[in-house]
Amino acid sequence: MEVIQVAASIEQKIALLESFRQRLNKFTKEKVLSTAIAEYDKSIAIAVANLKAKGEPVTIIEKLAKGECWQTREKVSQAEITYKAIVANIDIIKAQLMGFQSIYKHLDST
């Protein structure tokens, strides 16, 4: 690899890091994960109250409530997966960037 190619790769990785940083920033500003968790907690509480009012056995109320709230739980899972994927991509790009920086340093010193 030539110094110019490595420098271009470094610039590309920096731009990619910035795009993922912006995605993470947007994700946190929109409160996607915390909103999904709050919706799930609220739906569980409502389901538990309704099941208690119906006279369901106390030992199975929580499982029944979770069964009724599977869609909101799915939103929480999706938000968690999205967050973890963004962070994992940032880590991968950082590792690639460090590799290119090492190559650049070696090529620049020779």
- Whether 91 and 17 have beta carbons less than 8 Å apart is answered as no
Please report, as a single letter, which amino acid is at residue 54. K
Distances (CA, A) of 64 to 59, 74, 78: 10, 16, 22
CA distance 76 to 67: 15
Span 53-77, pLDDT tens digits: 999 999 999 999 999 999 999 999 9
Q: What's residue 48's pLDDT?
A: 97
Q: What's residue 14's pLDDT?
A: 96
Residue ranges, the chain, pLDDT below 50? none
- Terminus-to-terminus CA distance in the chain, angstroms? 13
Domain map (residue ranges) of the chain: 3-109
CA distance 109 to 107: 5
Residue of 100, 36, 8 lying closest to 44 (CA atoms): 36
